Amino acid sequence: MQNSTTLWYFILGAYLPVGNLRYLYFVLLALLYLVIIVANSSLIVVICVNRSLHEPMYLFLCSLFVNELYGSTGLFPFLLLQILSDIHTVSLSFCFLQIFTLYTYAKVEFCNLAIMSYDRYLAICYPLQYNTRMTSNHAVVFIVVIWFYSFVNFLITLSLTIRLTLCGAIINSLYCHNYLVVKLACSDTELNNIYGLFGVVFTTLVPMLPILFSYLKILKVCFSCCKRTRQKAISTCTPHLVSLLNFFFGCCFEILQSRFDMTSVPRLLRIILSLYFLIIQPLLTPIMYGLQMSKIRQTYKHLFCNKMLTSSETV
Span 87-100, pLDDT tens digits: 889 999 999 999 99
Tallying the residues shown for the chain, one arrives at: 315
Contacts of 129 (CB under 8 A, 6+ apart): 122
Q: Determine the Cα–Cα distance for residues 149 and 145; give it in Å rounded to an integer.
A: 6
| Confidence label for 297 from pLDDT (cuts 50, 70 and 90) | low
Identify the pLDDT of residue 201: 77
Span 256-278, pLDDT tens digits: 777 776 777 777 788 888 888 88
What is the pTM for the complete model shown? Answer: 0.89
Q: What is the fold, at CATH topology level, of the domain defined by 9-314?
A: Rhopdopsin 7-helix transmembrane proteins (1.20.1070)
Identify the pLDDT of residue 155: 92
H helix or E strand, kind and range, residue 170: strand 170-171
pLDDT at 315 over 80: no
Three-state SS at 4: coil
Which of 95-99, 119-123, 138-142, 192-196 bottoms out in mean pLDDT, i.e. has the lowest? 192-196
| Confidence label for 238 from pLDDT (cuts 50, 70 and 90) | confident
* Nearest residue to 63 (alpha-carbon basis) of 121, 123, 105, 120: 105
Residue type, 110: F
Identify the pLDDT of residue 289: 82
Distances (CA, A) of 260 to 19, 38, 177, 256, 257: 30, 36, 14, 6, 6
Q: Could you tell me the sign of the dihedral formed by the alpha carbons of 130, 131, 136, 138, in that order?
A: negative
Span 186-212, pLDDT tens digits: 888 888 888 877 877 777 788 888 888
> Per DSSP, what are the bridge partners of residue 9?
91
Span 33-86, pLDDT tens digits: 999 999 999 899 888 888 888 889 999 999 999 999 999 999 999 999 999 988
